[in-house]
Amino acid sequence: VTGRVFLVGAGPGAPDLLTLRAARLLAGADIVFHDALVHPDTLALADRAEKVAVGKRCGRHSTAQAFINKRLVDAARKHTVVVRLKGGDPTLFGRAQEEIDALRAAGIPFEVVPGVTAALAAAAELGVSLTRRGVSRNVAFATPRVGDGEAASDWVAAIAAADIGAIYMGVGEAAAIADALLARGKRPSLPVVAVENASLPGARRWTTTLGELTRLADEAFAGPVVLLLGEALAAAPADSDRVRTAFLETAEAHLLRAAV
């Protein structure tokens, strides 16, 4: 057999933010290679499939990309429907092109099924429009994170120029991001919102400004976080009590540390 490989977006986390196309493919899949962040209820849709976790999460052991590529090719020679399930949209920060290149080189047919990316789930969480007449008419997706042999990308310039910047995998480098953007002339009062676990029941947000962004370095984030920056974020509603508590705890942690 030569099967077909579907690079499928699982969405931002909530299982009901999956596309119908993705759900149907999962139901018909023979084998599913999935990321660590994919919700168990989403995986449960693939009830007849063998499930293989190949996820990469910051700081944890990751399956080498070349090995994932090879497993996809091998699987397509054994199975009819192979699903490669990735968080959010497969074509954003998911190393999809490496998998696509490997499949093409091996002559394996493939299709990409888009998904709801984290930045869009975060905007939904906040109840703000990413574009807004007179305020915002472009959005840049960027990450400060670089892999081996990656081409230089002036992501700072892109974010500095954007009406809205969405920064993935950036929370650990919040201080460096703030410095870089301030050095580009962005003003310290620029609204920034960090959204953790967008679309999931444990979603949290930190509403801050570019000048105060460094404080995020002291937060303990358990889930994935996306940063949204831009004037349009000024419309994000006031933080919930839970978020205020989180900030209070940070302030207390600072005081404690200072006292020790």
Residue 117 or 207: the one with the smaller Cβ distance to ligand SAH is: 117
Selected catalytic residue, list 16, 41, 51, 56 = 56
> Residues near 40 by Cβ (< 8 Å), separated by ≥ 6?
none
Element spanning 117, H or E: none
Q: Among candidates 35, 229, 34, 231, which has minimal Cα distance to 144?
A: 229
Q: For this structure, is 101 an active site residue?
A: no
Strand, helix or coil for residue 240: coil
CB of 153 vs ligand SAH, minimal distance in Å: 15
Residue 91 or 214: the one with the smaller Cβ distance to ligand SAH is: 91
Phi then psi dihedrals of residue 89, to 5 deg: -100, 135
Indicate which single residue of 7, 18, 69, 93 sits in contact with ligand SAH (rule: CB under 6 A). Answer: 93
Burial of 236 (0-12, 13-18, 19+ CB in 10 A): buried
Q: Which of residues 149-188 bind ligand SAH (CB under 6 A)?
A: 168-169
> Residues near 152 by Cβ (< 8 Å), separated by ≥ 6?
none
Selected catalytic residue, list 16, 30, 35, 89 = 35
Burial of 159 (0-12, 13-18, 19+ CB in 10 A): buried
13 near ligand SAH, judged by CB under 6 A? yes
Indicate which single residue of 17, 46, 85, 198 sits in contact with ligand SAH (rule: CB under 6 A). Answer: 198
Q: For this structure, is 56 an active site residue?
A: yes
* Placement of tokens 């105060």 in the chain: 212
Judged by CB under 6 A, how many residues of this single chain contact ligand SAH?
A: 24
55 near ligand SAH, judged by CB under 6 A? no
87 near ligand SAH, judged by CB under 6 A? yes
Q: Among candidates 117, 113, 121, 159, which has minimal Cα distance to 138?
A: 159
> Contact region for ligand SAH (CB under 6 A) — 20-28, 80-88, 209-217, 247-255?
80-88
33 near ligand SAH, judged by CB under 6 A? no
Token duo for residue 186:
């962005």
Indicate which single residue of 5, 7, 8, 12 sits in contact with ligand SAH (rule: CB under 6 A). Answer: 12
Half-sphere exposure (Cβ direction) of 147: Cα atoms closer than 13 Å = 9
Could you list the active site residues? 35, 56
Residues that bind ligand SAH (CB under 6 A): 12-13, 86-89, 92-94, 117-118, 121-122, 168-169, 195-200, 224-226
